[in-house]
Amino acid sequence: MTCEEKFESAFKELLVNEGFLANDPDDAGGKTLFGVASKYHPETYALIHTLWFDGKKELAMDKLKRFYKIEFWNNNFCFLKDTSLAFKLFDLSVNIGVKKLIRIYQNRLNLIGKNLIRAKVIDYYEELITDGIFGQRTLITTDMLNSHCDVYRSFIERIEWYYKTRLTYWKFGKGWMSRLNKRYYLV
């Protein structure tokens, strides 16, 4: 499967998670259309909205796909051996924010590495810089740690905790948890 095919698969599933049109006053992103938040991406939101409601649905979907590929997809996700982790990183970047999510992920990898050293499963772990960038070091570290433990499950547990600390968990928590606990493999 090519990187483009993996992105296509991830994009289709993302649209299932994001739904269509929403305007909840408690949503920090404001009005959303296919997950594009009017507050954070006003130009893209307006463009997709205009195209969609002017009946140019195919063009709207093309623009939407391009937006998600540029803003949230990282080509390094294509090289992850665990495609469910690749999808989850993409999907949660949309929901939480790219930099914030990758920092959470890198911190989790560092904790896993330290715990594996303590348990004498590995002899050495070089801590990642938590810069919010999913680069080559984060990719290599993921695959190395994944050979010793379930990185995916540990990461999901960390995101569960993150969601439960949000002030709007009372309102959005059920949806967040449903989305989080659905395991999807890029095919």
Domain housing 21? 9-71
Single out the residue in 71, 93, 112 at which a domain terminates: 71
Single out the residue in 71, 103, 118 at which a domain terminates: 71
Residue 102 in any domain: the answer is: yes
Contact 71, 77 (CB under 8 A): no
Q: Residue 11 has what pLDDT?
A: 97
Residue 58 in any domain: the answer is: yes
Residues 123, 66, single domain; the answer is: no
Q: Write out pLDDT tens, residues 145-179.
A: 999 999 999 999 999 999 999 999 999 999 999 99
Residues in CB range of 18: below 8 A, 6 or more apart: 32, 34, 35, 94
The whole-model pTM stands at 0.94
CA geometry: angle 149, 103, 133, nearest 5 deg: 100
pLDDT score of 187 more than 90: no
Residues 160, 187, single domain; the answer is: yes
Q: Residue 1 has what pLDDT?
A: 86
Nearest to 87 by CA among 156, 180, 187, 185: 185
Residues 156, 80, single domain; the answer is: yes
Single out the residue in 41, 71, 101 at which a domain terminates: 71
Task: Give the 3-state secondary structure percentages of the chain, helix then strand then coil, rounded to 5.
Answer: 65, 5, 35
Residues 91, 181, single domain; the answer is: yes
Residues 109, 164, single domain; the answer is: yes
Residue 2 in any domain: the answer is: no
Residues 86, 152, single domain; the answer is: yes
Residues 66, 83, single domain; the answer is: no
Q: Write out pLDDT tens, residues 65-96.
A: 999 999 999 999 999 999 999 999 999 999 99
Residues 175, 127, single domain; the answer is: yes
Q: Write out pLDDT tens, residues 12-30.
A: 999 999 989 999 999 999 9
**Number of folded domains that form the chain:** 2
